[in-house]
Structures are given as structure tokens and as C-alpha cells.
Amino acid sequence: MHKISICLILTLFSLTINAGEILEGRVVGVHDGDTVTLLMAGNQQIKIRLAQIDAPESDQAFGQKSKQSLSDMVFNKAIKVDKDTIDKYGRTVGTIIVEGMDANREQIKRGMAWAYTQYLHDQSLIQVEKDAREAKVGLWSDSNPTPPWEYRHGKKISAVHQAAPEVNTAINASNPSCGSKRYCKEMSSCEEAKFYLTQCGLTRLDGDHDGAPCESLCGHGR
């Protein structure tokens, strides 16, 4: 037990050190308004995601302007990165310091990014965003700009809806008797729901995998 406690303490200490690590190098690529590629000693390249901010997506309004703003600040310049963590995509998340300037904060100040409240630990950035909004700079010149996290969510929903006709087409091709119905609420009877499940392969109707579709119509185990 004592050995386990020591190992746990050492692990937590190691994580703390890594989180406060300072990386140095030159920016060799700017992907969008909050992501760059850093070239470090030994020709090691790592992708840096600017912490606490979320810039417009490349195909969003002000997406390209946000990218250009960050590029003007950091491209081909020596920078330091105050590392926070590694995200699920393997990118290093941190604060970029270039020529003594906090590039993350500057992107918000210029109206080229939002304060990413979901991951915010410096609450002063909220005021920086508020000031930019009131001054109507950058993306705030639009009356109602869409936050990038909402934009990404909307694209995911759109992709699902676009894929739905392909599912129906596949079902219809395998059995010409299958119509375009896909949900229990569209079924007129238990018999129809069973037909779609067994003959059309519409397994979504059997949510609990008990062999009976649409329990609102067919009940449990009927």
C-alpha cells in the first residue's frame, strides 16, 4: 500500500511538471485561427492548439481572417508555448507567447476568436471578449455570429440527415416492399414494425435488442 501511494504521488507530480512545461521553437504552419505547427530542436514538429480560445472554422465567416490574424502574429517567428495538456487529437494545448505578447488573448482582443468557456481557467478573457464585442471588432461586426462549437454541432447533425436517404435506399434496394419509414412513430401497427425489422433490416426499431420492435406498439416481448 505504501509503495502504491508513492507511485501515485510521483505520477501526479510528473503530470504537474508536464502541464507547466515550456516549449520553444519556430512556427512553420498556421492551420486556422487557433492551431499552428511548431518546429522544435531536432526537427521535431508538433501541433499546437491555442488554449482557452475557439476560433471560427475555416469555412465559417471570419475563418480565414482569423487564420490570417494568427499568421501575422506568429508565422516564421520564434515562440514559447506554456503547455496546459494534450488533447484527444494528440495536439499540445497551451498559450503561445510571441515577442512578449500572449497570442491567445490577442486573438480574442482582435475579435478573431471566442473565449472558450468550456475550457476556461483565466476568467479575465471573458472581459476581453466583452470589450471586443462592444467595440464590434472582427467577427463581432456581424450582428449575431455563430460560435464555432455550435457550427461544428450543426455540421454533425447535417451529416447525419444527409446520410439517412442512403440508409433508406439500401433498404429499398434489398427489398422493394420496404418503404421510406425509419422510426417507430411512423409505424401504423405492430405488424408493420415487425415487417420493417425482419424484412427490411431496420434494427433501430428494436432498441433494447429483445427481438420485439417498437414497444409502444408491440409491448414487451409480444
pTM metric for this prediction: 0.65
- Nearest residue to 39 via CA among 84, 74, 87: 74
C-alpha dist (Å) from residue 82 to 20, 43, 87 = 6, 20, 15
> Mean of the pLDDT values across residues 186-213?
76
Active site residue 57: yes
- DSSP assignment of 102-120 equals EHHHHHHHTTSSEE-GGG-
Distance CA 190, CA 70 (A): 59
Catalytic residue from among 49, 105, 110, 129 = 49
Active site residue 105: no
Whole-number pLDDT of residue 98: 98
CA 167, 170, 172 angle in degrees (round to 5)? 110
Q: What is the CATH number of domain 2-143?
A: 2.40.50.90
Per-residue pLDDT reduced to its tens digit, 13-45:
444 445 579 999 999 999 999 999 999 999 999
Active site residue 133: no
Residue intervals in the chain for CATH 2.40.50.90: 2-143
List the beta bridge partners of residue 49.
35, 93
Catalytic residue from among 26, 91, 133, 182 = 91
Per-residue pLDDT reduced to its tens digit, 102-114:
999 999 999 999 9
From the centroid of its chain, how far is CA 181? 32
